[in-house]
Amino acid sequence: MCLDEPDQSDEERSGTVPLSLESFTFHQTLGVGAFGKVFLARDLIRKECVAIKASTKRNLTWTRSNYIERHVLKLSHESPYLIHGLAAFHTLNCVYFVMELANGGNLDHFIFNNFPLDTTTIKFITAEVICGTEFLHKKYIIHRDLKPENILLTADGHVKITDFGIAVVVSANKKTKFRCRGTPGYAAPEMVMDKEHGRGVDYFAIGVILYKLCTSTRPFPGYRISDIQHAVIHHTPRYPRSLNRVTRNILKGLMCKNQFKRLGVKGDVRKHPFFDGTNWEDVEARRVVPPAIMIADSVDLNINRTLDYAERPNRRITVDPKIFKRFSFVCPEWSRHYHPVIIKTTA
C-alpha cells in the first residue's frame, strides 16, 4: 500500500465527518501491547460499548503498519471471524482504531479456565480460526501474530481474530521481506531466523494454538526468549500419549520446520482426517452451533467509572503529517446503525 497516495474510500469521498476523542468516553484499559493500548470506550451518541486501540505515531515503518491495520479492519466485515473495524481517526500524536467489542474474553483465558477441552470444542475453535485466517490469505494478508491472546470470543461463543498490528500485505504467491520476529513460541522458524516468509507462518501458529488447546501447554517451552526461539528452530515438540494418532499427525504437519512442506502450504488443512465430519460451508457461514462450554457469562465491563484518558506529548514522530490526510474513516454499517446523525457534507 503506497503511503504517498493514501486510499480514498467511499466513506471519505462521501464526506463523512470523521470521529474524534470527543466522540467517546473511556472507561478502562482492556490490554497493552507493543503497538499500543486497547480501551473500553462508549460512543456518546448511542451509548454503545466499543474497543478502541490507541497507537502512537512514529516513523514510516510504523505508519505503514497503521495503514495495513486500517486496511484489514475496513474489509473485516466480509468475515464473521475477524474483529470488525468500525472507524479510524487520528490526532497530532496518535492513531485510533474503533472496533466491535468481543466481551467473551480471549482464548488463553478460556483454555486456562476450562481445560481439559473435549474434541468437539477443540475442532470447533480450530476450524473457525482457520476460516478467519484463510479469509485473510485470500486477500493476500498474512497475520503473523496468531496466538490465544489475539483470538477473542464473542458472548455467543464464536471466535474473533484481532490485533493486525504486524500484519503484512503480499502479492499473490509471494513472500514478504519485512522483518518481524512475532511472538516467541508462536512465530515460525523462518520468522525467527529473519528469512522471507509467506502464509505458512500463520499455519505454524495455528499448530501451536491447537497444541495448547489439546495440552494446555506450549510445544516450545523456555524461560528466556532465546531458549524458546532455539526450541522453535531445532527441537521437536513432545506429544503426550493422550493425543491420538490423527491429532499428532496434524500437529506435526502444521508445525513442520520446513515452510514449503508445512500443512496448509503443501496440502489443504481442511481435508486432514482431524476434521472428518466438519461441514466447512456451515463453518464459513457461521451456522455451526458453538459447544455449550463456549457460551459463558460475558466479561464484566465496568462502565460506571470513567477513565481520564489524555494523550502524552509525542516527540518521536518522524513522518510528514500529510501522510495521514485520508486515514480517518467510518464504516457504512457502523455509520448507519450506531451513528445515524453523522453529517454528510454536500459535494
Compute the C-alpha angle 257/263/264, nearest 5°: 120
> Is 346 a member of any domain?
no
Average of per-residue pLDDT values in the chain: 87
CA distance 65 to 319: 13
pLDDT value at residue 311: 78
In this structure, what CATH number is given to the domain that contains residue 262?
1.10.510.10
- Looking at residues 223-238, what average pLDDT do you find? 96
Length of the chain in residues, anyone?
A: 347
Same domain flag for 97 and 41: yes
pLDDT value at residue 340: 45
Same domain flag for 53 and 152: no
Least reliable range by pLDDT among 77-81, 178-182, 292-296, 319-323? 178-182
**pLDDT digits over 12-32, tens only?**
444 455 688 999 999 999 988
pLDDT value at residue 298: 58
> Is 30 a member of any domain?
yes
Same domain flag for 249 and 127: yes
**pLDDT digits over 264-315, tens only?**
999 999 999 999 999 999 999 999 999 999 987 655 666 677 877 877 766 6
Q: Indicate the number of domains in the chain.
A: 2
> Is 136 a member of any domain?
yes
Q: Which residues are annotated as a binding site?
A: 53
Same domain flag for 87 and 120: no
Least reliable range by pLDDT among 70-74, 248-252, 298-302, 343-347? 343-347
Same domain flag for 322 and 183: no
CA distance 329 to 17: 9
Q: Which domain holds residue 75?
A: 10-101+301-337
CB neighbourhood size of 253 (10 A)? 20
Q: Which residues are annotated as a binding site for ATP?
A: 53
Same domain flag for 220 and 274: yes
Same domain flag for 188 and 240: yes
> Is 196 a member of any domain?
yes
Distance set, CA 330 to CA 1, 98, 177, 253, 317 (Å): 20, 9, 31, 41, 25
Same domain flag for 41 and 178: no
Cβ atoms of 290 and 128 closer than 8 Å: no
Q: Which of 138, 263, 291, 141 is nearest to 206 (CA)?
A: 263
Same domain flag for 49 and 26: yes
pLDDT value at residue 292: 94
CA distance 255 to 257: 6
> Is 81 a member of any domain?
yes
In this structure, what CATH number is given to the domain that contains residue 73?
3.30.200.20
> Which residues are catalytically annotated?
145
> Is 288 a member of any domain?
yes
> Is 3 a member of any domain?
no
Same domain flag for 15 and 120: no
Distance set, CA 35 to CA 32, 57, 58, 85, 258 (Å): 8, 10, 11, 17, 29
> Is 238 a member of any domain?
yes
